[in-house]
Amino acid sequence: MKTAQRVYTALIFILIYAPLAVMILFSFNSTSSTSVFAGLSFKWYRELFSNSDTLEALKNTLLLAFVSSIAATLLGTVTAVGIYRMRSRVTREIIKSVTNIPMMNPDIVTGVSLMLLFVFVGRLLGRTNTLSFWTLLISHITFNLPYVILNVLPKLRQTDRHLHEAALDLGCSPVEAFMKVTLPAIRSGIVSGLLMAFTLSLDDFIISYYTVGADFQTLPLKIYAMTKKTVKPDMYALSSVIFFTILILLMLINMAGMRSDNNSNGSKKSKKKV
């Protein structure tokens, strides 16, 4: 039984990671052959990082991910607090479902609809060329927003609702009470929301494809453009770099989640002790 379990686990891992492993392996190949591994070399990585177009795209991607995830986190946190404090349960549930819809929506629908909106509004404003970095940024904030709300809202629900009142009771103004008590209590949710938004923005292709202008290119867009011709091993190198970046970010998210779980477990335990 034990061995069966191990074999099964190994099989799953192979299925998931074999393609990635092959890609990473060939990114270190010294020739551009896709069948023969001629020898270990960093040739394609060198080529990749000397390509100024690629580096420009990388810079753009990171800039977009930073700005959009931070903006989405600010907006999302405020929204989550607003939803949490709603008096009427019915409206609260409705608003919550509405904010969840963009997550369920296929990216292509979100992308096309955003593009349409931008072009439509642009025409109303009398512009011919609306799509740009700014429309891309707005799109990324839009699709990141529900993920932030989804991370922050449960944290708010977990915190003792008397905490805010206790802070008021001790002399804090409502704003002070939020900054000093509520914010620390939901911090882990905000951090994991931020990291998730960053990751999602980093690897988004479909929505970006429809909402970006000609003057701005992100890595996923560039890779797609390049693969239309022939795939060179420097793309393997680039994909490997992206894979590891995402891997590290995911680990950070999980660690943030784990830490907050420990915290909430702690408070649950203390409640039991009570």
Give the nearer residue to another protein in terms of CB position, either 113 or 263. 263
CB of 252 to another protein, least distance (A): 20
- Binding track over 170-199 against another protein, x by CB under 8 A: xxxxx-xx--xx--xx--------------
263 binds another protein (CB under 8 A): yes
CB of 4 to another protein, least distance (A): 42
CB of 93 to another protein, least distance (A): 18
CB of 261 to another protein, least distance (A): 13
Binding residues among 123-162 for another protein as defined by CB under 8 A: 160, 162
| Number of residues engaging another protein in binding (CB under 8 A) | 27
271 binds another protein (CB under 8 A): yes
CB of 82 to another protein, least distance (A): 20
CB of 157 to another protein, least distance (A): 15
Dihedral-angle region of residue 269 (phi above 0 means left; psi in -120 to 50 means alpha; beta otherwise):
alpha
261 binds another protein (CB under 8 A): no
* Options 58-66, 145-153, 169-177, 238-246: segment touching another protein (CB under 8 A): 169-177
* Residue ranges in contact with another protein by CB under 8 A: 160, 162-163, 165-174, 176-177, 180-181, 184-185, 263, 266-267, 269-271, 273-274
